[in-house]
Amino acid sequence: MILPVILCGGSGTRLWPLSRERYPKQFLQLGSSHSLLQDTLLRLEPDSHQPALLICNEEHRFICAEQVRAIGYQPGGIILEPKGRNTAPAIALAALKARSQGDDPVLLVLASDHYIGDVTAFRRSINQGLALAHSGKLVTFGITPDSPHSGYGYIQCGSPLKNDNGQVIGAGVAAFVEKPDTPTAQRYLDNGNYLWNSGMFLFKASDYLAELALYRPDILQACEQAMAQLHSDLDFTRINRDAFLASPAESIDYAVMEHTERAAVVPMNASWNDIGSFEALWQILPKDTDRNVHLGDVTALDSQDNLVITQDRLVATLGVQDLVVVDTKDTLLVAHRSQSQAIKSLVDELKSRNAAQVTEHREVYRPWGKYDIVDRDERFLVKRITVRPGHSLSRQLHYHRAEHWVVVSGTAAIEIGEERRLLSEDQSVFIPATVVHRLSNPGKVDLQLIEVQSGSYLEEDDIVRFEDDYTRGNQDVS
């Protein structure tokens, strides 16, 4: 059976302010009832695929696990990268994991943040490439281009490759081509022998490791050392941090695919899109009669060809065209659609100013639930906290702040020093600074409460954990 490997790294900065470092685009719902990660898992074939192995950044581990749990999917494992090292090392971890289990499966390597409009065509191309993978080829999937897109890399097709029945099922790879300018992309489109590079792959674990050993033994060695010392942490597999960080950061294209003599490409015409910009998002989503895409509470008059997304309040447009408007709880972006590829430069500018909005949303997810920062000033901060049934915050104290908790709905189990009690709706409690305390939800429904912090220092790192269900240390703010 095929072992899907889902790469859950990446920050998706071109979709800022929706996508941020601690909540990147693979976890977003973009016009769907599921996130991009969830859709990636749901399009797999359960009858012919093993449970997927996820490679996830350590910072996103609880978001990833919760989204998988929410759709009832049981993964084959979640390997944590202490820091992203690009795709070549990440895939090596998965291949080494498969080999350590005494198996040599065909790995189906997929990004967690791509859109596939035609799942049937997607599955057909995978089945088509399976014979090539079994024969020792390293298969990549090339998207049949429908425009001279300058934002994608291209694959130049070589000699046709046939199955045992003489049917053409793919081609050798003549060349991998970097993102071209528009006139060059038009020549590729006219030529008809070029495909977009999708970043999806199919090959046996042993074949990938053999080619990695041939062309980038330094990456393989670092990953072998990282996988030699594993330990389990809840639903996750942790690798040796120092060994993995010693690996060069390199994509599979640069490390292996551009050098190997075993590369093959299988065409895929599955309405694929990597959603690498708001322009790409506008292209794939349903539009109204004025070619507008509206997500959220939007009213438009005399407005055409716009993408408007709002999370928390009404957005109205009048007499505008070709705009991207994204209104989150703490940030408003207004851009021309033609400039959506340049949003990364805007994010870089904000990073240089240490803008908090680059990293986190106002609504922050934690393994026990989430909180929303409703208001703040120099000496107070107000949060709306949601704790999922059966979950608890860590037993902790703060040196610089006191906290007031008011229960809005549900039941709260409170520990303050040696005191234990239950609070129900409209009841409240005060926790002085330096006092050990804990909050739990013993009920069957979400616990909602308002927390008011007051003190001289109100940042998340003012926390000392004494006991935690999620094995987080004092420096871990996830």
Domain locations along the chain:
2-273, 284-351, 363-467
> Who contacts 27 (Cβ-Cβ below 8 Å, separation ≥6)?
35, 36, 37, 60, 63, 64, 67
CA distances in angstroms from 166 to 128, 160, 170, listed in the order given:
13, 11, 12
Mean pLDDT by 10 residues, the chain (478 residues): 93 91 95 95 92 95 94 96 96 95 93 96 96 96 92 94 87 94 93 95 98 98 96 92 97 96 96 94 96 98 98 96 97 95 93 93 91 95 97 96 98 96 96 97 97 96 93 74
Question: What is the per-residue pLDDT for 351?
Answer: 94
Give the count of beta carbons closer than 10 Å to the beta carbon of residue 354: 8
Residue pair 154/195 in contact (Cβ under 8 Å)? The answer is: yes
- What does the pLDDT read at residue 12? 76
Tell if the pTM clears 0.85, that is, is over it.
yes
The whole-angstrom separation of Cα 476 and Cα 11 is: 19
Instruction: Give the residue from 339, 305, 341, 307 showing the smallest Cα distance to 324.
Output: 307
pLDDT score of 385: 98
Q: Please provide residue 170's backbone torsions phi and psi, each rounded to the nearest 5 degrees.
A: 180, -160
Task: Evaluate whether 328 touches 361 at the Cβ level (below 8 Å).
Answer: yes
Token pair 């997500």 is found at: 295
Residue-by-residue DSSP string for 382-423: EEEEEE-TT-BPPEEE-SSEEEEEEEEES-EEEEETTEEEEE
Class of domain 363-467: mainly beta
SS3 state at 291: coil
Rounded CA gap, 44 and 51, in Å? 9
CATH number belonging to domain 2-273: 3.90.550.10
Bridge partners of 323?
A: 336
Rounded distance between C-alpha atoms, residue 166 and residue 256, angstroms: 29
Per-residue model confidence as pLDDT tens digits over 186-203: 999 999 999 999 999 999
Residue 477 gets which letter from DSSP? -
> What span, in angstroms and rounded, lies between the C-alpha atoms of 115 and 113?
7
* Alpha carbons 110 and 456: distance in angstroms, whole number: 47
Could you give the CA distance from residue 21 to residue 351 in angstroms, rounded to a whole number? 11
3-state secondary structure of 210: helix
**Can you tell me the distance from the alpha carbon of 57 to that of 245, in angstroms, rounded to the nearest whole number?**
13
Residues facing 2 on adjacent strands = 49, 106
Decide: residue 191, CB within 10 A, 0-12 exposed, 13-18 middle, 19+ buried: exposed
CB-CB neighbours of 93 under 10 Å? 24
Examine domains 2-273 and 363-467 and report if their fold is the same.
Answer: no
Order of all β-strands in the sheet with 307-310: 293-295, 307-310, 323-327, 332-336
**What is the length of the chain?**
478
Name beta bridge partners: 95.
none
Residue 175 confidence (pLDDT): 95
